[in-house]
Structure 1
Amino acid sequence: MKPNISVLFVCLGNICRSPMAEAVMRKLVAEQGLEDRITVDSAGTGDWHIGREPHEGTRGVLDAHGISYAGMKARQVIPQDAVDFQYIVCMDRKNLKDAREIMGQTAEDGASGQVFTFMELIPGRGVADVPDPYYEGNFDYVYELVDEGCSALLDQIKADMGWAKVLV
């Protein structure tokens, strides 16, 4: 069965936050047996790290939690992403703005995705943006936010699709 839901996580360079979210979400999707229904990817609004693997801090946190990031390489957001992804989740407000500018797509162009910030998934945390651990070094805290937010996103997708009773 071809996946019918696609999720794209977006951050600045696509080596810290968004690949962490991609890896965590893939794990959650696999645990619920939804790999044939949901695909997950990540991208950056900047082009500095294209082709690179996730940052060593991200890899370290994912390794500590037994989460695979095999094969993941940084890429940049492209206009077609607005058409190809139903859920475009930006790690902060600046990347939300930049991703919208890069994609520049509208419904008339075939874009159908919801574009929103990651922290909208967990509003009770009281922060607007997922901090960038590239600068702050707080990979464990970012993982905590990502883990909680990805669980909330998967619940939202299941509810949106009427999959509430799918393999829990």
Structure 2
Amino acid sequence: MFEKILVVCVGNICRSPTGEAALKKLLPNKTVASAGIASLKSELVGKPADATAIEIAKNYDLDLSAHQSQQLTRELAQQYDLILVMEKGHIRAVTDMIPEARGKTMLFGHWQNQKDIPDPYRQSKELFEIVFKAIDLAAHGWAAKLK
């Protein structure tokens, strides 16, 4: 049912690329990509993943080095069966941009009691580590349901 999954955060340089990589590793037969709600506004389109996100992911055998940020658009959202966002507020942001996507938009931390995953951008390496572990746990939750 859910063959194509889009992982969404704000800038598409920290959380969503990490979530994308984790799901790709756990669900190799699914199509997984990521995008940002405000990548265009933040002038991040085409930018690589955050250096600390790349470093932390590499420590766990995930490669974010080829990632390039992209803006969430209606056309992009229409290509995916499931849109996973990092915070409850992102559901509203996605719905405001693309009302028809509401029915297929859920929290990445849905299986962890609807837990938000905080934004580590410009924060400590320790927070990136905590966020990575939360994303990894949530990705395993989704993988168990989608296999």
Q: Deviations over 1:46-104 (max 9, x none)?
A: 02211011001110111111212242110011012332111100001222211111223
Structure 2 residue runs of 5 or longer lacking an equivalent are none
Matches within 5 A, 1:110-149: 114-123=104-113, 128-137=115-124, 138-149=127-138
Partner of 2:6: helix, strand, or coil? strand
Identical-pair percentage: 25
In structure 2, what is the equivalent of residue 96 of structure 1?
91
RMSD: 1.9
Matches within 5 A, 1:1-168: 5-30=3-28, 34=29, 38-46=30-38, 47=40, 48=42, 49-105=44-100, 114-123=104-113, 128-137=115-124, 138-158=127-147
Runs of 4 or more consecutive aligned structure 1 residues displaced over 6 Å after TM superposition: none
Q: Deviations over 1:104-127 (max 9, x none)?
A: 326xxxx9x62111221211xxx7
Give the greater-gyration-radius structure (CA): 1
Distance in 1 of aligned mates of 2:6 and 2:13: 14
Structure 1 residue runs of 5 or longer lacking an equivalent are 159-168
**Length-normalised TM-score, structure 1:** 0.77
Would you say the 8 A contact 1:96–1:116 is kept in 2? Answer: yes
Distance in 1 of aligned mates of 2:59 and 2:105: 30
What is the letter of the counterpart of residue 83 of structure 1? Answer: Q
Give the number of aligned pairs. 141
Q: Deviations over 1:117-158 (max 9, x none)?
A: 1221211xxx73101000433111111111111111111112
Distance in 2 of aligned mates of 1:50 and 1:70: 15
Would you say the 8 A contact 1:23–1:68 is kept in 2? Answer: yes
